[in-house]
Amino acid sequence: MYSRPPGPDTERGMRAHHARAAKALDARVEPGGEFWGWAGRTLGAPALTAAGQSAWLRLVSAPEDKASGKLWDGALDAQHAFGDLDWHRPALLGVHDALDDGTAYRAELSARVDEPVLSGDPILRQDRDLPDSFQSPRLLQR
């Protein structure tokens, strides 16, 4: 499920757009931490902002006519609606959009969470014993 893009040209293009987005967002990607997402459509890496803040730079690609909806706009919409929820959600620090030959690219620079990974894939397959500090009363109230 999580793999590099299907071909070397697409892979090079994703890396090039990731580097351009880092420059546009005034961030420096840290070496050795590249992570590919579903079918090579996303590429993320740890980064540092110009001020030295730990960040995460994620690039997603889609055909231009499919670059919309919650998978595309979710992080930006959540930032506008909720902010960082008193640091219970990584703050979105910047967004950079680009178009290239019918493909849309969106880069999101977020504050980096320096906690251990809970799951190597999107499905949490076993219970985790989390400290109380990971639970926000505001998030638990309905």
Provide the whole-model pTM.
Answer: 0.80
Residue 41 CB-density burial (10 A; 0-12 exposed, 13-18 middle, 19+ buried): middle
Please tell me the least confidently modeled range out of 89-93, 108-112, 113-117, 129-133.
129-133
pLDDT (average), residues 19-36? 94
Q: What pLDDT, on the 0 to 100 scale, is given for residue 139?
A: 43
In terms of pLDDT, which residue wins out, 89 or 93?
A: 93
Q: Quickly state the pLDDT bin for 138 (edges 50, 70, 90).
A: very low
* 37 backbone dihedrals φ, ψ, rounded to 5°: -105, -160
pLDDT at 142 over 50: no
Which residues are CB-contacts of 22 (< 8 A; sequence separation ≥ 6)? 28, 29, 47, 57, 107
pLDDT (average), residues 83-90? 76
Q: What pLDDT, on the 0 to 100 scale, is given for residue 75?
A: 87
Collapsed DSSP state (helix, strand, coil) of residue 108 = strand
Which tokens hold the place of 6?
């299907």
Q: What pLDDT, on the 0 to 100 scale, is given for residue 33?
A: 85
